[in-house]
Chain A
């Protein structure tokens, strides 16, 4: 079974790359724009620090590290999960989900696999460059810190996966919820700043309720030796988010099968 699903995923990746390369200019532009827009954001941080202001107790490169992790994490989510919402919404509006449901494969898996989109690759590349620069100015990094970083980074990706699936699931009932990603993006951006600059209520919300702090702040803090118990407790809501996304989507699929397109 696993072999079959890996085979399907590989085919989907091949198709996604073929599709992206069909429109070469569009592919290059997508990546260039993603790269450019992410260069601008650290520029704002550079301007803040250049003008003498700062985030209390955080150096420029520490803040850039948080933003680099956030950018890479967002890039991975864009490639792997973000297409699900738009694909689901399109199928619901056009009443064409049947062409997915007649395949002997999980509907959520197939929609996720078939919407892998490499136009987010520029984001990962930009984030990786920024990450390397910021990390080179950080203190020594131990293997334990790298392991902590990886666990927290993956948890951050789970948060975005969960959110994508939850938003996609809502489109079964709330057809045309195209503004929902914008609302989530606004909340997500809290994750690219040091959390101690926010009021405790807000940092509690971004750590445990919608754990967007895991997208940038917590993994970067681990590399800086600043990860505390809060970061590891926040893994639980991240996993719950991912599970909730999968379960809600499955529930909505059953509703679709019950009522049709």
Chain B
């Protein structure tokens, strides 16, 4: 059953062009050129209840604007949104009782006091009965192993600990849908894994998650459905499996060699950047080859002092989608 339905969603901002040079800045003091920015253009999608949906896109693609409209904190310029039967921007006061949100770069915690005091604030805001509050808090802090952390002032916590507390804050009132805007940004791999495990557990309990990110790994590990937005337009809306099929299994390998080689003549490897005789960035197609096999072949071919394996960058994924669907950017 669909829990979110979005049709022809458009958001246009108006701002002023100021220019970058000192002369432009001076000029803009007297006269500013008003320009419109189409942050989201004619986007439609649906989300099933209990699903984790990843909204992917590079910086400035329109992901956060879409999330803000879904949370009811921003009016769309045109189009319709229905979440659990509510129109978020019209029914905001009632609607927000049923949703939670974590903004990776904006904190709901009060900086100078322990997170547990901020949790009590949410208890009052959402009118959570004492017994239910205690039960939920124990469960959530237990999942994150935060029992000792929540009584320390927020300002002394690490980024990972703070982010876990943000999740607790967003989940205390047991929302049916949780919107996550870049929830793992800046976190180390251990903190990311803990947060992903938490999201999976909450999802298992029936919570629907909408997740914006430019970290493909978040999507790979969590989402079944993927929506890709670029320049405010939807360029992909399907399952993660379909996305992988479209793209093929590709990785980026960066190597630093100990001595120069003539070239990398491997079927599945394409050099995409050569910074020096010793530093190469390669795109590896893993459709017919395992990563182990590729590394073994590289080891036989050359000697390297460093190697890193990464996902395809978001810009590359979008380019590939455009190319595979014959869309001109």
A19 close to B110 (CB less than 8 A): yes
Q: Is A15 within 8 A of B113, CB to CB?
A: yes
In the assembled complex, how far is the CB of residue B263 from the closest CB belonging to chain A, in whole angstroms?
48
Q: Does chain A have a CB within 8 A of B117?
A: yes
A140 interfacial by beta-carbon distance below 8 Å: no
B89 touches A98 (CB 8 A): no
- Report how far A160 CA is from B68 CA in the complex, Å: 33
B46 to chain A, nearest CB (A): 22
Contact present for A99 and B108 (CB under 8 Å): yes
A257 and B73: CB pair below 8 A?
yes
Kindly supply a per-residue 1/0 record for chain A positions 4-28, scoring 1 wherever the CB is within 8 Å of any chain B CB and 0 otherwise. 1001101110110011001100000
Residues of A within 8 A of B124 (CB): 4, 7-8, 10-11
Give the residues from 22 to 58 in chain A that come closer than 8 angstroms, CB to CB, to chain B: 22-23
B101: chain A residues at CB < 8 Å are 98, 102
- Asked whether, in the complex, the Cβ of A260 is within 8 Å of the Cβ of B68, the reply is yes
B126 touches A104 (CB 8 A): yes
Chain B contact surface mostly: mixed
- A257 adjacent to B112 (CB under 8 Å): no
Q: Is the CB of A98 within 8 A of B73?
A: yes
- The stretch of B27-35, B90-98, B157-165, B221-229 in contact with A is B90-98
Cβ of A144 < 8 Å from any Cβ of B?
no
In A227-261, the 8 Å CB interface with B consists of: 257-260
A10 and chain B: residue at smallest CB distance:
B124
A101, B106: Cβ atoms under 8 Å?
A: no
Interface residues on chain A, number (Cβ under 8 Å): 27
Smallest CB separation, B85 vs chain A (Å): 17
Min C-beta distance of B259 to chain A, whole Å: 50
Distance in angstroms from B1 CB to nearest chain A CB is 24
B103: CB under 8 A from chain A?
yes
- How many B residues touch the partner, as a band? 35 or more
Contacts of A19 in B (CB 8 A): 110, 112-113
Out of A4, A10, A101, name the residue touching B73 (CB < 8 Å).
A101
Report the Cα distance A18→B126, complex, angstroms: 22
From A15, A23, A104, B121 is in contact (CB under 8 Å) with A15
Are A98 and B121 neighbours in the complex by a CB distance under 8 Å?
Answer: no
Asked if B121 and A12 sit within 8 Å, CB to CB, the answer is yes
Query: Are the CB atoms of B75 and A257 closer together than 8 Å?
Result: yes
Q: How far is the CA of A10 from the CA of B123 in the complex (A)?
A: 12
Interface centre among B123, B124, B125 (most CB of A within 10 A): B124
CB A99 to nearest CB in B, in angstroms, measures 5
Interface residues of A in 89-107 (CB under 8 A from B): 94, 96-99, 101-105
Cβ B117 vs Cβ A15 within 8 A: yes
- Expressed in whole angstroms, the Cα–Cα distance for A96 and B73 within the complex equals 11
Interface assignment of B232: CB less than 8 Å from any CB of chain A: no
B106 neighbours in A (Cβ, 8 Å): 94, 96, 98-99
Give per-residue flags for A130-162: 1 if the beta carbon is below 8 A from chain B beta carbons, else 0.
000000000000000000000000000000000
Contacts of B126 in A (CB 8 A): 104
The reply to whether the CB of B99 lies closer than 8 angstroms to some CB of chain A is yes
Q: What residues make up the interface of A, taking CB atoms closer than 8 Å to B?
A: 4, 7-8, 10-12, 14-15, 18-19, 22-23, 94, 96-99, 101-105, 110, 257-260
Could you give 28 example pairs across A and B, Cβ below 8 Å?
A7-B124, A8-B121, A8-B124, A8-B125, A10-B124, A11-B124, A14-B117, A14-B120, A18-B112, A18-B113, A18-B117, A97-B73, A98-B68, A99-B108, A101-B71, A101-B73, A102-B71, A102-B72, A102-B96, A103-B96, A103-B125, A104-B93, A104-B94, A104-B96, A257-B73, A257-B74, A259-B13, A260-B65
